[in-house]
Every structure is written in C-alpha cells, then in structure tokens.
Amino acid sequence: MMIIHGGRVLRPATFDAEPLDVIVDGDTIADLVAPASVRGEGARRVDASGKLLIPGLVNGHTHAQVTLARGVFDRYTLELYLNAMAWTGGRRTLEDKYVAAAVGAAELVRKGCTAAYDMFAEFPLPTAEGIDAVARAYRDVGMRVTIAPMIADRSFYQAIPGLLDMLPDDLRDAVLKIEYAPHSQTVAACRTIVQSWTWDRDCVRPALGPTIPHHCSDEFLVACRDLAAELDVGIQMHVAESKLQAIVGQRRYGKSLVAHLDALGLLGPHFCASHAIWIDADDRSRLARAGASIAHNPGSNFKLGSGMADLRRLLDSGLNVALGTDGCASSDNLNPYEAMRLASFVSRVGDHPVERWVSSREALHAATEGGARALGFERIGRIAPGYKADIVFIDLAALHYVPCNDVANQLVFCEDGTGVESVMIGGRLVLDHGRFTTIDPLKLRKQAEEAVARLSAQTREGRALSERLAPLVGRYCSGLAAEPHHVHQLWNSTGKPLAANEIKW
Ligand SMILES: [Zn+2]
C-alpha cells in the first residue's frame, strides 16, 4: 500500500481541489481520505505537500512515426504535409521507430500526459515488429497507449481526383511508385498483429487506423469495420480534417465523409474521428447517435491552417470529445496543456455569446475523461477509488500558481507543462521531481540525433521529389478547395475524373 499525503486533489465534475490523502493499492487508487486520517503502518509514503494532484492527461491523437520530423515544416497545409509523408516517416529502421515513439512518449510524460492514442504508420503496410517497437517504447517510458496502425490502400496522389493527371509525366511516374499494399494484405497483417497481442491491455491496447476515408477503398473500410468488431478493438480515422477532404468526399461519394462512413457501418462507440472540422449538423448527429468520440486537435488545426473544429457544437451534440496534440510534423510540440488552452481560447474567437465559450472545466473534462473513453481505457481520467493511479503532481510553488485562485482556470489558462513535477502511472513514479526513473533522456537524444543524421541522407531523394511536387500539389489542392463550384468540373457525367486539360477553372 502507498499513501500520497499532504496534497490537494482535483475532484471530478467540479474540478475544484480538496486536501485529501490518496491511498494506492498496486496500480489502483483504493481510497481518498481526510488528510493524515490513515496511518498505514508499513505503507510507502509519498509526500505531496504543496502539490496539486490531478489525473494524468490523455492525448487523443498523435503519430509516433513523425516525432523525428519535428520542426521541419513551417507554412505547410495538410496536403503539403501528406505530399511529404514518404520522407518524413519513411526509411525507418525498427530502432528508429522505437526511438521516435520513446521521444514522443517521454515528452508527453514530461508534460503531464499519461496515455495517448497513437496512429502509427508504416509503409507499405504495418508490421508486427514495427508495432511491437512502438509498444515497447511506450512501455519502457511507462505510459499507457492505444496503438492504431495507420493504414490505407490508396496513396495521397491516388486519393485526390485529378491530381495524378495534372502532374508532368516524370513526376506522375515517380509518385505512382508510392504504393500501399493491397487491402487484403494490410487487413491480414492487422489481424495477425491484434491476434498475437501479448501486451497487457490495461497498458498497451491495439486498435485500427484506416487513415482518411477516401484514402481507403470501400472494401477496405468494410474489412476494417468487420475486423474491429471481431477482435473488439477501436477505430480511429482522420475525418474531414481539411476543406479539400470534405469536397473530395462529396464528389467521390455524393455525400459527406461522415455519411459515407455511416453508410458503411463504421460509426459506433468504438469509433473516434480525429479533427472533424468540416462537418455539418447532420454529421454531428450521426456521430453522436453512434456514440462515437472526436479527437479535437486545435494546435494542429492552427498550424496547418486546416480550419477549426467547432468544439461547442460537438459538445452540444452530445459527442464525447478528447483533446489531442497530433504528431510532431503538424503541431509540433506534444503538450496537452496547450491543447486545453487553445481549445478553450479558440472557442471565443468570433461573435459568440459568452455562454458558448468552452470553459476551463469543459477543456479539463475533454483532456481527462473524454480522452479516456476515446482511447478505450475504462478506469483512467479521474482521481477516484477504483481508477488507475495515474496522477500528475503539479508544483503549486510554480509562479503561474502564485497566487492560486482557481485551480481549473489556472491549469488550463496558465499551465504550460513547467509546473509538472512528478508523474505517477499505475502507481509507479515514472517522472520523479523532474527526473525520469524509466528511461535515459540523454541516451534517447543521442539515438534520435544519430537517426536523423542517417535518415536525412537516406531520404534525400524522397525529400527532393516532394519539394518538386509541393508547388504543383499546393496549387492544385488549394484550387480544388477554394470554390466548391470548381469541383463540379473535375468529373465527367459518369463520375470519371477529367484529365488536366479538360478541367475548366
Ligand atoms: Zn493525425
């Protein structure tokens, strides 16, 4: 038994703090008791004097494969980023995959996050060894994770109608070599990965990540739906992240992306839509009726200029909402406090009555219990008996708590991660007074720097190709997204994409 004594505990629902001692039994919170009311002879005692104890934050959406590509882009849209994916996440050895995931997990823990939903990508299809490397990294750091292999059976170039046709021959030939495995192979690989899962699902859970609706054939999506149901795992997808995606969805399916996924039977309580920016009231009610979750990533939406999900409307629809950082190529830090702060602040932009603004307590709920539900972990996200002992120790002597007037407001509006002193996950202090007890950050840094030096040489050709493509892809995609009426001219009457010289702009 362990007694965490002397701290103030953030209570669920009210998000006020109360002086309480936390009794931990193994990896679980056994009780919350009045200060110093339990002596606990022989129990381990952890001093939390001057500390605010909050549940570990949950990151609803990230990508381990791009941690080593942190900071490489500035003014990139989502489409420009997808055009660069072959080199930002490619040519990774198993060790590179491990190191990237470990660096990301370590940053998250350092910033008070104890669980993440990681859509981890490998090309041309996921491998058991790659997923295992990522699982090992999270395990070694000591963090919980739901890992969804990010999968597709169409490349970005194949997924956007007309894009291949407008490329010069040499570039078209080059991008046609970027191919995903046929969906039957990918689904078989995912089946093997999930069926042979040896990780403790209380810590490392499997899921499926068909990346973007129109990057997946309908047969593929249906196979993912069936596999997820059969193996009882969740599904996370990027849904309507950019305006272009929403337009392509309408053109391809004659309905919204959400309506398309609904028609295919993908939506359900185990479904988590990441971003969900370009959706309408009908989409929201479809997602809500299905009991689905949304992972809202305001930092990524800002950086990529994707637009911004309307969190108030998502909440009003009754949807479960998690907050995410997205991966390091699109956000570029992994800071769940920033996600809360931005989620709350951006809801105030525009002409909304103050009652429509997202409050600090709503942001905290999304970053804790909302995230827990989206990830499929049942007993994380609050400090309460029966919940896992995933507890972040916040130093109330940090200047942004001086004075401490309202802990919920200050956690969301003032905290930037620097107040995180210690992090306990499953009753184990993974970060103890700012020092990791599980991994050696200096060694990780050295490994990451060596990997990046090697990869920058190995991916030079891929990078050069994506840089040649970038102006063409950028112009084409922004043209397609600019005015909906342009889109009507990209297909002939039978739905066949028009060639570049047939498109009327
Ligand atoms: Zn993403």
Backbone angles phi, psi at 295, to 5 degrees: -105, 110
User: How far does the centroid of ligand 1 lie from the alpha carbon of residue 36, in Å?
Assistant: 45
Query: Which candidate, 21, 39, 40, 44, places its Cα nearest to that of 31?
Result: 21
This prediction's pTM = 0.95
User: How far does the centroid of ligand 1 lie from the alpha carbon of residue 238, in Å?
Assistant: 6
Does 505 have pLDDT greater than 50?
Answer: no
Does 483 have pLDDT greater than 90?
Answer: no
Does 401 have pLDDT greater than 60?
Answer: yes
User: How far does the centroid of ligand 1 lie from the alpha carbon of residue 12, in Å?
Assistant: 29
Q: What is the pLDDT of residue 498?
A: 55
228 CB-near residues (< 8 Å, 6+ apart): 207, 208, 234, 235, 270
Q: What is the pLDDT of residue 489?
A: 44
User: How far does the centroid of ligand 1 lie from the alpha carbon of residue 300, in Å?
Assistant: 9
| Overall average pLDDT of the 337-362 stretch | 96
User: How far does the centroid of ligand 1 lie from the alpha carbon of residue 364, in Å?
Assistant: 21
Question: Distance between CA 192 and CA 493 in Å, rounded?
Answer: 42
User: How far does the centroid of ligand 1 lie from the alpha carbon of residue 63, in Å?
Assistant: 6
User: How far does the centroid of ligand 1 lie from the alpha carbon of residue 188, in Å?
Assistant: 23
Query: Looking up tokens 């990830």, which residue turns up?
Result: 375
pLDDT in tens, 45-87: 999 999 999 999 999 999 999 999 999 999 999 999 999 998 8
Backbone angles phi, psi at 287, to 5 degrees: -65, -40
Q: What is the pLDDT of residue 224?
A: 98
pLDDT in tens, 104-157: 999 999 999 999 999 999 989 999 999 999 999 999 999 999 999 999 999 999
User: How far does the centroid of ligand 1 lie from the alpha carbon of residue 241, in Å?
Assistant: 9
Ramachandran region, residue 493 (left: φ > 0; alpha: ψ -120 to 50; beta: rest): alpha
User: How far does the centroid of ligand 1 lie from the alpha carbon of residue 23, in Å?
Assistant: 37
Question: Distance between CA 156 and CA 408 in Å, rounded?
Answer: 41
The lowest-confidence range among 198-202, 380-384, 495-499 is 495-499
User: How far does the centroid of ligand 1 lie from the alpha carbon of residue 468, in Å?
Assistant: 24
pLDDT in tens, 216-267: 999 999 999 999 999 999 999 999 999 999 999 999 999 999 999 999 999 9
Q: Which helix (H) or strand (E) holds 125?
A: none
User: How far does the centroid of ligand 1 lie from the alpha carbon of residue 274, in Å?
Assistant: 7
User: How far does the centroid of ligand 1 lie from the alpha carbon of residue 146, in Å?
Assistant: 14
Between residues 124 and 484, the one the model is more confident about: 124
Q: Which helix (H) or strand (E) holds 335?
A: none
User: How far does the centroid of ligand 1 lie from the alpha carbon of residue 325, in Å?
Assistant: 9
User: How far does the centroid of ligand 1 lie from the alpha carbon of residue 275, in Å?
Assistant: 8
User: How far does the centroid of ligand 1 lie from the alpha carbon of residue 182, in Å?
Assistant: 22
User: How far does the centroid of ligand 1 lie from the alpha carbon of residue 226, in Å?
Assistant: 23
Burial class (CB in 10 A: 0-12, 13-18, 19+), 133: buried
Q: What is the pLDDT of residue 40?
A: 87
User: How far does the centroid of ligand 1 lie from the alpha carbon of residue 197, in Å?
Assistant: 24
- List, in sequence order, every residue forming a beta bridge with 145; answer none if it has no partner: 116, 204
Contact 59, 334 (CB under 8 A): yes
Task: Say which DSSP state 254 is in.
Answer: S
| Overall average pLDDT of the 19-35 stretch | 98
User: How far does the centroid of ligand 1 lie from the alpha carbon of residue 118, in Å?
Assistant: 9
Does 493 have pLDDT greater than 70?
Answer: no
- List, in sequence order, every residue forming a beta bridge with 3; answer none if it has no partner: 23, 45
User: How far does the centroid of ligand 1 lie from the alpha carbon of residue 61, in Å?
Assistant: 6
CA atoms within 13 A on the CB side of 419: 28
**Whether residue 124 has a cis bond before it, omega within 30° of 0:** yes
Sorting pLDDT into bands at 50, 70 and 90, what band is 496?
low
User: How far does the centroid of ligand 1 lie from the alpha carbon of residue 380, in Å?
Assistant: 23
Percent of the chain topping pLDDT 70: 95
User: How far does the centroid of ligand 1 lie from the alpha carbon of residue 327, in Å?
Assistant: 6
User: How far does the centroid of ligand 1 lie from the alpha carbon of residue 62, in Å?
Assistant: 6
User: How far does the centroid of ligand 1 lie from the alpha carbon of residue 237, in Å?
Assistant: 8
Sorting pLDDT into bands at 50, 70 and 90, what band is 495?
low
User: How far does the centroid of ligand 1 lie from the alpha carbon of residue 265, in Å?
Assistant: 22
Q: Average model confidence (pLDDT) for the chain?
A: 95
pLDDT in tens, 410-433: 999 999 999 999 999 999 999 999
Q: What is the pLDDT of residue 482?
A: 84
User: How far does the centroid of ligand 1 lie from the alpha carbon of residue 326, in Å?
Assistant: 5
Give Dmax (Cα) for the chain. Answer: 82
User: How far does the centroid of ligand 1 lie from the alpha carbon of residue 167, in Å?
Assistant: 26
User: How far does the centroid of ligand 1 lie from the alpha carbon of residue 295, in Å?
Assistant: 10
User: How far does the centroid of ligand 1 lie from the alpha carbon of residue 184, in Å?
Assistant: 23
